[in-house]
Structure 1
Amino acid sequence: MLKERATVSCRRCRLSLLAIVLLGLLAGCAPRPPKSVVQQALAYQLTHLAGPVASLVGSDRLAEHLEVQDVRIQRDRREPLLLTSGETLEGHHLSGTYTLLVKPPGSRRPYRRKGDPFQLTLARQKVKQAESQGPTEQWLLAYASAGGKRWEVVNFLPQPAPPSEVSPEEAETPSSGASAS
């Protein structure tokens, strides 16, 4: 009788361990934000300053002189994010390090700072493109709202111009500001 209980208990332990391993493997298969997206999110955070710092002279041209390199993601903690709009998105709380390259105007040598730590939260949103294409994903930078229980998101990636806005004739025509002498 005692031997049977030990065997059943051992089987339960094995099944539990197997279930934990499978869940870990499945969680590891979920899409991670690409490093290029994390680089762009960090650059956006650095160039879109908040509060009194945002009013510094020249802060609007800061993006021209900064470059984020060598992003190393050390931790990716996933959890659902409840947005202020009521929508729920998959959230990735990322932490790691990066290298900041600052190219001051008029200087030949850039300033490089290696190993700066970062923490940011990205939200993954599935977007339908066209009927012929399947759903794609969009990464949004997430900030905790004032109450701290919901999240605000910002689309930080550059948006391509729709092809219908610029016709091929307009693209080839010289601008009216340039004079042909």
Structure 2
Amino acid sequence: MTSRVMLISAAMSVAVREARFDDGCPVDTTGLRLARAAAGAVAAVDRPLVSPSVRCRETAHALGLGTAADAPELAGLDVGRWRGATLEEVSAREPEAVARWLSDPGSAPHDGESVEAFCTRVAHWLDATAHVAGRTVAVVEPEVVRALVVRTLGAPESAFWRVDVPPLTATEFSGRSGRWNVRAGRPLGVSD
């Protein structure tokens, strides 16, 4: 059985524009307009899912995936006490901690989740999804896409920061028996 999984990165929010660690803020007006414009760009879905964040839920709704179920395994990276702060603010307060976090995937100086643990968490979800029939579509935070691209390609977790995931793009995974292929970064509404 070949499994098909499409991850759609959530629409833009004020937190993303400000390089702010997610603080639960909603999609901004431009992001909402673009998500609504892309509604209908996602073909038939057997299993619609959503990361449990406000902006992912709002994006899924705007795309017409209103029945999408929360997938806690696809929650964004837990940045602990840095949540709500900008990268600039945290870098000013804790420059050594930020440098360590960006260079060592196993570190979690914010008392949250390390990049390594995060990549493992979402990779377990993808492996479990290989045994689910039909087409899965999930609206997720960009770091979920990053983590799965890194793991699927067998790249080291240090490559996590080198993967750009623009808002409202689709990354598709297809495979069977533990072997996945990746089709990355297609803007929604652009066909084959």
Q: TM-score, with normalisation over the residues of structure 2? A: 0.19
The structure whose residues are more often strand, as a share, is 1
Structure with more relative contact order (C-alpha pairs < 8 Å, separation 6 or more):
2
State which structure, 1 or 2, has the greater radius of gyration over its C-alpha atoms. 1
